[in-house]
Amino acid sequence: MNSVRVRFAPSPTGELHVGGARTALFNWLFARKHKGVFILRFEDTDVERNRPELIEPILESLRWLGLLWDEGPYFQSQRFSLYREWADRLLNEGKAYKCYCTPEELEQKRQRALAAKQKPLYDGRCRHLSSHDEERFIREGRQPALRLKIPESGTIVVNDAIRGRVEFDLAELDDFIILRSDGRPTYNFAVVVDDITMGITHVIRADEHLNNTPKQMLIYQAFGHPLPIFAHVPMVLAKDRSKLSKRHGATAVFEFRDRGILPEALVNYLARLGWSYGNQEIFSREELIEKFSLEAVHPSAAIFDEEKLLWLNQHYLKTSDPKDLSELVRPFLIKLGILSEAEANAVPSEKLVQMVMLFRERARTLVELAEPARYLLTDNFSYDPEAVQKFLTPEKIALLEGLAGALAAVEPFTAAEVERVTRAYLDSQGKALKDLAQPCRVALTGRTTGAGLFETMELIGRERVIARLRR
Ligand code: GLU
What is the SS3 string spanning 34-82?
CCCEEEEEECCCCHHHCCHHHHHHHHHHHHHHCCCCCEEEEEHHHCHHH
**CA separation for the pair 457, 376 (Å, rounded):** 8
The model's pLDDT over 224-235, given as tens digits with 9 standing for 90+, comes to: 999 999 999 999
How far away, in angstroms, is 424 Cα from ligand 1 center? 69
Minimal-distance CA residue to ligand 1 atom 6 = 9
pTM: 0.93
How far away, in angstroms, is 88 Cα from ligand 1 center? 24
Mean pLDDT by 10 residues, the chain (471 residues): 89 94 98 98 86 94 98 96 98 98 92 90 93 95 97 95 96 96 95 98 96 98 98 92 81 96 98 95 98 96 94 97 96 98 97 95 96 97 97 96 95 96 97 96 97 96 97 93
Pocket test for ligand 1, best of 25, 26, 160, 205 (most atoms within 8 A of CB): 205
**CA separation for the pair 105, 133 (Å, rounded):** 15
**CA separation for the pair 213, 198 (Å, rounded):** 18
Pocket test for ligand 1, best of 18, 43, 62 (most atoms within 8 A of CB): 43
351 catalytic per annotation: no
How far away, in angstroms, is 7 Cα from ligand 1 center? 10
Q: What is the pLDDT of residue 204?
A: 98
Minimal-distance CA residue to ligand 1 atom 2 = 10
Q: Cβ(39)–Cβ(199) under 8 Å?
A: no
Tell me phi and psi for residue 413, to 5 degrees: -85, 70
Q: What is the pLDDT of residue 243?
A: 84
CA dihedral 320, 326, 327, 332 (to 10 degrees): 110
**CA separation for the pair 42, 203 (Å, rounded):** 15
How far away, in angstroms, is 154 Cα from ligand 1 center? 27
Q: What is the pLDDT of residue 257?
A: 97
Q: Helix (H, G, I), strand (E, B), or coil: what is residue 121?
A: coil
CA-wise closest residue to 22 among 307, 318, 309, 320 = 309
Q: What is the DSSP letter of 275?
A: B
Q: Which atom of ligand 1 is nearest to the CA of 10?
A: 4
- Alpha-carbon Rg for the chain, nearest whole angstrom, is 32
Q: What is the pLDDT of residue 141?
A: 94
The total of other beta-carbon atoms located within 10 Å of residue 118's CB is 9
**CA separation for the pair 289, 310 (Å, rounded):** 23
Q: Cβ(370)–Cβ(344) under 8 Å?
A: no
Q: What is the pLDDT of residue 2?
A: 61
Q: Angle at Cα 58 formed by Cα 55 and Cα 64, nearest 5°?
A: 140
Among 246, 318, 323, 390, the one annotated catalytic: 246
